[in-house]
Amino acid sequence: MRNRRDYDDYEYDDDRMVDDYDREYEDDEYDDFDDYGEDVDDSDEDYDDPEDDIDYDGDYDDPEDFDDERYEDEEQYDDRYDDEDRYDDDRYDDEEDDDRDERYDDEDRYDDDRYDDRYDDRYDDDDRYDDEDDGKGGIPRWAHFAVIGVIAAVILFSVIKLVIWNASGQKVKISDDENYDVEIQDEVFVLSDDMKEGHEDDGLETILFVGNDAITYDDSETGVVDQISQLSGAACINAGFPSTTIARKNPSYSSDYPLDAFCFPSVVDAMTSGDYSQLHEAAQSLEDPKYSDNLSVLENVDFDKIDTLVIFYDAQDYINLRAGLDPENDLNEVAYSGALKSGITKFQEKYPYIRIICMSLTMCYAYDSSGQIVNGDKVDLGNGELTTYYQFMLDTSGATAVSFIDNYYGTVDDENSKDMLVDNIHTNAACNEHIAKHFVKAIYPSDKEDAEEEKEK
């Protein structure tokens, strides 16, 4: 760095520099720039080799111009020598140099501008975590604890709800060896006194059952209806029709499909109007005598003495591919939920004093399009799985304020189906007993102990 040493001589001794300058140019002794040119050529391209014949007299006629423009101008010097050598040079070793103090020892320049501001914004504990935030945009410590507290509260709430949900599941005892911990979706409604107004209580609970194979496949003393009667002491009337569905197959009745005369809304139409002619016509075309026999039972019912109507159908709607829902018409009787709601609504309008109870289907098996036996709990045959129909009945029961008894969960499943079904669909005596006990426990809880004691005798 020979050239910088030369600059040092000129920069810090103004008087000597001017005198030397005058003397050299006045005496024409400075015509040869060999020595000086070598130094300049080594350090900066601004100082050309003397062989270039630069007219230095023209460039530096005035000593003051020489001093200000080339060496003493702080901005020019900074542009040319703003590098690490600038701070290592001997010129600035003097700690008392005022220029050095102002230009290089400035604490704001090196600490605040270059390092402190950057690191303060990112890592300053006071800005980010101090409880007494000074408003510089930092997140106070209390905010972090508040967020953590909210997250912990949500997790705790979820755990508590899960525990409560699990605790609410009823343990249904199927046999001495098996217990099932499931969530039973029973919904029990009781008629108000206003709805019962005008109905005389004869002191005997009378229950009318309408449905299909769920109550007709076994109509003996081991069937559901008889076992409920035995457990509750109620007078139970079985008016079910085999192989029928809740929903209609066709929008209007046709003799080509006589079973439509016994679908749930058609049966309700006959009960509310007293006209059973269509059912008689259909029964004559069907070979099974149960249609005519049970039609006679239904036709002779005195509805003034009926206290409860029970609707109990198995999975025939699922097996026969009845539509589950018509979103544009919630009373469409071709759809499962529409037919159920339509029939319930009509019956309520005619007999508001009769309590209505819907009993859900049980799990079963069916045949798919290839003839393979499939689990209805897992296979959609075209309009949903079994649980789809189960949910439609649950929703419709709630919408019409009628009671719902859950026979799906806690009754038959894939593991115990061999012990609960006589075939792929129909329930056996043991399953009927379980259904009957569940019904009595939910609908007549005060009679539970007496009914069980009577059953054990």
Q: Give CATH superfamily name and number for 182-456.
A: SGNH hydrolase (3.40.50.1110)
Here the tokens at position 185 are: 């979706």
Here the tokens at position 85 are: 């050598």
The pLDDT score that the predictor gives to residue 302 is 96
Give dist(CA 456, CA 173) in Å, integer. Answer: 16
The pLDDT score that the predictor gives to residue 162 is 55
- How, if at all, do strands 206-211 and 235-238 pair? parallel
pTM over 0.75: no
* Cβ neighbours of 388 (radius 10 Å): 16
pLDDT digits (tens, 9 = 90+) for 345-400: 999 999 999 999 999 999 999 988 888 899 998 899 888 999 999 999 999 999 99
Task: Give the helix ranges, DSSP H, for 274-335.
Answer: 277-284, 290-299, 316-319
The pLDDT score that the predictor gives to residue 423 is 93
Q: Where are the domains of the chain?
A: 2-101, 106-168, 182-456
- Whole-number Cα distances in Å, 126 to 122, 131, 132, 344, 379: 11, 8, 8, 69, 62
Instruction: Please give the backbone phi and psi of residue 10, each rounded to the nearest 5 degrees, phi first.
Output: -80, -35
- H/E element holding 177? none
The pLDDT score that the predictor gives to residue 161 is 53
Query: Pick from 250, 251, 311, 256: which is nearest to 282 by CA?
Result: 256
At a CB cut-off of 8 Å and minimum separation 6, what does 342 contact?
A: 265, 268, 331, 332, 333
The pLDDT score that the predictor gives to residue 447 is 52
CA 335 to chain CA mean position, Å: 29
The pLDDT score that the predictor gives to residue 258 is 97
The residues of the chain scoring below 70 in pLDDT are: 1-138, 158-182, 447-457
Residue with tokens 């609504």: 345
The pLDDT score that the predictor gives to residue 159 is 64
pLDDT digits (tens, 9 = 90+) for 271-297: 999 999 999 999 999 999 999 999 999
At a CB cut-off of 8 Å and minimum separation 6, what does 152 contact?
A: none
